[in-house]
Amino acid sequence: MVDLKNQIQISVVIPLFNEEESLPELCEWIRKVMDEHGFVYEIILIDDGSSDNSWQVVKTLSAGNSSIKGIKLRRNYGKSAALNRGFEKVQGKVVITMDADLQDSPDEIPELYKMITEEGYDLVSGWKKKRYDSRLTKNLPSKIYNSVTKRMSGVKLHDMNCGLKAYRREVVKAIEVYGEMHRYIPVIAKWAGFRNIGEKVVVHRKRQYGVTKFGWERFINGFLDLISIMFVSRFGRKPMHLFGTLGSLLFAIGFLIAGYLAYAKFFLAEYKMTDRPLFYLGLLAMVLGTQLFLTGFLGEMISRSASDRNHYLVEEEL
């Protein structure tokens, strides 16, 4: 018997939240592209707790095309959760994610597929070189965001958060996307050990129906998320290396200060120790140093009992 799982070449994962108007057009467009190129495909539509008719539309579409599958989440968990759920389900060798709002063009799929299968990329991110979003609230902040992320993470992409991306299946099976981490999937993939990350200039279009689901809060949340993934990936498994070093250093500084003050009191007999501002600095440094050290210690205990403490990705084994 032929294993159907291995036959699917492309899985298209589409998270959606209140996008009823766009879905029929989008799925029809994808089907057309797939049929033209003779791809065996599946489309996974993840309804992220929509309050409009999206799920009805998904059901109708799925009934009309056996390649279309739907998942309905019980409430709105956010784009990351929707993507993550989709990634659990995918079977195709190549996984393409795209937004449901018709801003990303399915015509890019064949080329992205080729980049993964023939050019050896693990992940290819779309680059909306010419963007059709409002200049002030999206384009400018996005430039700043991209350059900060590039510098902090070392992943050199022009457009980290483009919804249109292609992955080798192993990548999406290896990573976990939660919170608002969908913005940093390339960073997460790089840290999981997938080095061949590329980008492709893609056509971007105006939102055809409905409204954007991300407001200004995305700047604050996005920045905090970047800091946490940087931290988790660098020190998540060895918190003592950060907190222990800082703590010991601070404690040592405090101790030296206290030593010097004690020396000055007994041998130079000039001051009452507590009259000198330096005394408080030394005290503070010792207290903070101890606390940081203990934080590292607690972190170490937590990471020791974390269920993924011995989770490695093996690339090859002979």
Residues making contact with Mg ion (CB under 5 A): 99, 101, 103
- The smaller minimum CB distance to ligand UDP, of residues 87 and 251, is found at 87
Query: 3-state DSSP call for residue 317?
Result: coil
Q: Which residue type is seen at 189?
A: A
Three-state secondary structure readout of 68-122: EEEEECCCCCCHHHHHHHHHHHCCCCEEEECCCCCCECHHHHHHHHHHHHCCCCC
Least distance (Å) between residue 101 CB and Mg ion: 4
Burial (CB count within 10 angstroms: exposed 0-12, middle 13-18, buried 19+), residue 310: exposed
Size of the site for ligand UDP (CB under 6 A): 17
- The smaller minimum CB distance to ligand UDP, of residues 184 and 243, is found at 184
Least distance (Å) between residue 181 CB and Mg ion: 18
- The smaller minimum CB distance to ligand UDP, of residues 76 and 228, is found at 76
104: nearest Cα among 4, 36, 200 = 200
Query: 3-state DSSP call for residue 177?
Result: coil
- The smaller minimum CB distance to Mg ion, of residues 47 and 99, is found at 99
Q: Which residue type is seen at 278?
A: L
- The smaller minimum CB distance to ligand UDP, of residues 78 and 239, is found at 78
Sheet holding 123-127, edge to edge: 68-72, 41-47, 10-16, 94-97, 165-168, 123-127, 197-201
Q: Of 38-67, which residues contact ligand UDP (CB under 6 A)?
A: 48
**Which of residues 8, 10, 13, 16 is near ligand UDP by CB under 6 A?**
16
DSSP codes of every residue in 197-260: EEEEE--B----SS--S--THHHHHHHHHHHHHHHHHHHTT-HHHHHHHHHHHHHHHHHHHHHH
Q: Contact letters (x/-) for ligand UDP, 132-171, by CB under 6 A?
A: -------------------------------x--------
- Binding window for ligand UDP (CB under 6 A); candidates: 76-84, 122-130, 183-191, 285-293: 76-84
Q: Which residue type is seen at 123?
A: L
Q: How far is CA 37 from the centre of its chain?
A: 31
Query: Residue 80 interacts with ligand UDP (CB under 6 A)?
Result: no
- What DSSP designation does 154 have? -
Least distance (Å) between residue 159 CB and Mg ion: 13
- The smaller minimum CB distance to ligand UDP, of residues 6 and 212, is found at 212
- The smaller minimum CB distance to Mg ion, of residues 98 and 181, is found at 98
How far, in Å, CA of 70 to CA of 45, rounded? 5
Q: Contact letters (x/-) for ligand UDP, 93-112, by CB under 6 A?
A: ------xxx-x---------
Query: Residue 78 interacts with ligand UDP (CB under 6 A)?
Result: yes
Query: Residue 82 interacts with ligand UDP (CB under 6 A)?
Result: yes
Beta bridge partners of 5: none
Query: Residue 212 interacts with ligand UDP (CB under 6 A)?
Result: yes
Query: Residue 214 interacts with ligand UDP (CB under 6 A)?
Result: yes
Least distance (Å) between residue 48 CB and ligand UDP: 4
Biggest alpha carbon distance in the chain?
93
- The smaller minimum CB distance to ligand UDP, of residues 72 and 276, is found at 72
Select from Mg ion, ligand UDP, none the partner in contact with residue 76, using the beta carbon and a kind-dependent cut-off of 5 to 8 Å: ligand UDP
| Secondary structure element (H or E) that encloses residue 59, with its range | helix 54-64
Site of interaction with ligand UDP (CB under 6 A)? 15-17, 19, 48, 76, 78-79, 82, 99-101, 103, 163, 212-214
